[in-house]
Chain A
Amino acid sequence: MYTFLARRLLATIPVLLVVAVLVFLMLRLTPGDPAAILAGDAANTEQIAQIRTGLGLDRPIIVQFGIWAGNLLSGDLGESFYYKQKVTTLIAHRLEPTVSLAALTILIAVAVSVPLGVLAAWRFGSLFDRMLMGFSVIGFSVPVFVLAYILIWLISLKLGWLPVQGYQRLADGFGPWLRHLLLPSITLSVIYIALIARVTRASVLESLGEDYIRTARAKGLPELRVLVRHALANAAVPIVTVIGIGIALLIGGVVVTESVYAIPGLGRLTVDAVLARDFPTIQGVILFFSFVYVGINLLVDLSYVFLDPRIRY
Chain B
Amino acid sequence: MHSAAQTGEVTLTPGSEGDVTLTPPGSAVLEVRELTIALPAGGERATAVSKVSFSVHRGEILCLVGESGSGKSVIAQGIMGLLPPALPVTGGAALLEGEDTTRASPERLRQLRAARMSMIFQEPMTALNPVMRCGEQLDEVLVHHTSLSEPERRAKIIATLQEVLLPDPARMFAAYPHQLSGGQRQRIMIAMALVLDPALLIADEPTTALDVTTQAQILKLIADLQARHGTGVLFITHDFGVVAEIAQRVAVLRLGELVELGAKDEVLKRPRHRYTKMLINAVPRLEPHGRAADTDAPVVLETRDLDKTYVDRAWFGKRRNVAAAKRVNLSVRRGQTLGIVGESGSGKSTVARCIVRLIDPSGGEIHLHGEEIARRSHGDLRPLRRRVQIVFQDPYRSLNPRRTVGEAIMEGPLNYGVPRAEALERARRLLALVRMDAGALERYPHQFSGGQRQRICIARALALEPELLIADEAVSALDVSVQAQVLRLLEEIRTEFDLAMLFITHDLRVAAQVCDHVAVMHQGVVVEYGAAEQIFLQPKHEYTRALFAAAPGRDFAFGRA
List residues of chain A with CB under 8 Å of any chain B CB.
Answer: 3, 6-7, 210-212, 214-223, 225, 229-230, 233-234, 236, 307-310
Contacts and interface: CB of A to CB of B under 8 A. Distances in A.
Contact of A310 (B126, B178, B315, B316): B178
A10 to B, nearest CB: 8
B403 interface: no
Contact of A233 (B115, B119, B129, B317): B129
B500 interface: no
A77 B392 CA distance: 59
A225 B127 contact: no
Nearest to A216: B129
A309 B180 CA distance: 13
Interface stretch (B106-114, B330-338, B357-365): B106-114
Given A214-B82, A217-B82, A222 B129 contact: no
Interface of B: 80, 82, 106, 109-115, 118-119, 121, 123, 126-132, 140-141, 144-145, 176, 178, 189, 192, 315-317
Contacts of A214: 82, 121, 127
Given A211-B121, A220-B114, A309 B130 contact: yes
Contacts, number: 82
A220 B131 contact: no
Given A218-B82, A218-B113, A218-B119, A310 B176 contact: yes
Contacts of A221: 110, 140-141, 144
A31 B131 CA distance: 54
Given A234-B129, A310-B178, A219 B114 contact: yes
Given A218-B80, A219-B113, A219-B140, A233 B145 contact: no
Contact of B128 (A215, A220, A308): A215
Given A215-B189, A309-B176, A310-B176, A220 B141 contact: yes
A8 to B, nearest CB: 10
B386 to A, nearest CB: 42
30 contacts: A3-B317, A7-B316, A211-B121, A212-B128, A214-B82, A214-B121, A214-B127, A215-B128, A215-B189, A218-B80, A218-B82, A218-B114, A219-B113, A219-B141, A220-B144, A220-B145, A221-B140, A222-B110, A223-B106, A229-B129, A229-B140, A230-B132, A233-B131, A234-B131, A307-B131, A308-B130, A308-B131, A309-B131, A309-B178, A310-B130
A212 B113 CA distance: 15
Contacts of A229: 129, 132, 140
Contacts of A223: 106
Which among B82, B130, B317 has the greatest number of chain A C-beta atoms within 10 A?
B130
A220 B109 CA distance: 7
A309 B133 CA distance: 9
